[in-house]
Amino acid sequence: MRKPIMAGNWKLNKNHLETLTFIDEITPLLRDVSAVDIVICPPFTSLNVATARTKGTNVKVGAQDLFWEKSGAFTGEISGDMLKVLGCDYVIIGHSERRQYFGETDETVNKKILAAFTAGLIPIVCVGETLQEREAGQVEQVLSTQIREGLQGLNAQEHGKIVIAYEPVWAIGTGRTATPEQANAAHVLIRKLLSEIFGAAAQDIRIQYGGSVKPENVKELMAQPDIDGALIGGAALQAEAFEKLVRYK
Ligand SMILES: O=C(CO)COP(=O)(O)O
């Protein structure tokens, strides 16, 4: 009942020319796929060409961040409206790299989620614990704070299309994936937390797993009942690998 969603988070990779090359490779390969939502999230400078080149295809485009204000004296920032008018459909919010290096907090995540919905974008909201937190037995506490504070004030009617990405920080770019069972257990916990906010509609919210997802491990992760897709970094940068990830079955 939840349509799988496979998204590539390109991070700081690919200029606009490389973006066009990737899109020209990937769109013919994925043309027949309709059972999975496909999203690429290039850097801001590539979004213009990405939305233009994917227009009319089944590949959707997302940004990697946004700012919560609509306009004004906020040097270096990008608004949700700017992304929407470019043709973006999604925006990643609260990635652990933004939390770690750029001062993102649950409070700013919350403001950004609301701004994304106001602009008509679907937020992909990242949560996840560090290795230290996992080893200290704090997974539940960390996820619960991130969800309760990050998603404060949301409701099923207006915000039910939200996508959550569970990305344990210790699995990102490390080659160390959570086991399918570990990941699913976290997803079950997240869904329980979502049901406090969204009620029964939490059953329809898609929860992606992220952290060293590759063509070799995607199938067993996707076989878990509460894993509804993946947010993929490194392995999403090559068309051939990304095709395999989208065709995970
Ligand atoms: O952070 C990630 C996606 O947002 C995961 O990155 P990797 O797939 O490179 O581990």
Single-letter code of the amino acid located at 207: I
User: Which backbone phi and psi does 124 adopt, to 5 degrees?
Assistant: -105, 105
Q: How far is the CA of 168 from the centre of ligand 1 (A)?
A: 10
In Å, how far from its chain's centre is CA 70?
22
Q: Which atom of ligand 1 is nearest to the CA of 212?
A: 10
Structural domain count of the chain = 1
Nearest alpha-carbon partner for 62 in 111, 21, 95, 108: 95
Q: Count CB-CB contacts under 10 A for residue 149.
A: 13
The pLDDT assigned to 182 comes to 95
Is 103 annotated to bind a ligand? Reply is no
Is 11 annotated to bind a ligand? Reply is yes
Side-chain-side CA neighbours of residue 51 (13 Å): 17
pLDDT digits (tens, 9 = 90+) for 3-24: 999 999 999 999 999 999 999 9
Residue nearest to atom 2 of ligand 1 (CA): 233
Judging by DSSP bridges, how do beta strands 59-63 and 90-93 pair with one another? parallel
**Is the pLDDT reported for residue 117 higher than 90?**
yes
Report which secondary-structure segment, H or E, holds 39. Answer: strand 37-41
Rounded to 10 deg, the angle between the 239-246 and 16-30 helix axes is 40
Q: Which atom of ligand 1 is nearest to the CA of 174?
A: 10
Is-above-0.90 flag for pTM?
Answer: yes
Question: Any catalytic annotation for residue 187?
Answer: no
**Is the pLDDT reported for residue 1 higher than 90?**
no
The pLDDT assigned to 220 comes to 97
With cut-offs at 50, 70 and 90, classify the pLDDT of residue 175. confident
Calculate mean pLDDT across residues 197-215. Answer: 97
Calculate mean pLDDT across residues 212-228. Answer: 97
Q: How far is the CA of 71 from the centre of ligand 1 (A)?
A: 30
Q: How far is CA 134 from CA 39, 175, 187, 214, 232, in A?
A: 29, 17, 15, 23, 21
Calculate mean pLDDT across residues 40-59. Answer: 98
pLDDT digits (tens, 9 = 90+) for 66-100: 999 999 999 999 999 999 999 999 999 999 999 99
- CA 82/CA 80 separation, integer angstroms: 5
Is 15 annotated to bind a ligand? Reply is no
Q: How far is the CA of 73 from the centre of ligand 1 (A)?
A: 32
Report which secondary-structure segment, H or E, holds 53. Answer: helix 44-54
With cut-offs at 50, 70 and 90, classify the pLDDT of residue 179. very high
Q: Which atom of ligand 1 is nearest to the CA of 126?
A: 4
CATH number for 34:
3.20.20.70
- Give the rounded percent of residues in the chain with a pLDDT score beyond 70: 100
The pLDDT assigned to 154 comes to 98
List 39's β-bridge partners, or say none. Answer: 7, 60
Residue 38: both structure tokens together:
């496909």
Residue 11: both structure tokens together:
């991070």
Q: Which of 18, 95, 133, 216 is catalytic?
A: 95
Boundaries of domain holding 170:
5-246
Calculate mean pLDDT across residues 35-59. Answer: 98
Ligand 1 binding pocket mutation candidate from 98, 172, 244 (most atoms within 8 A of CB) = 172
Question: Any catalytic annotation for residue 159?
Answer: no
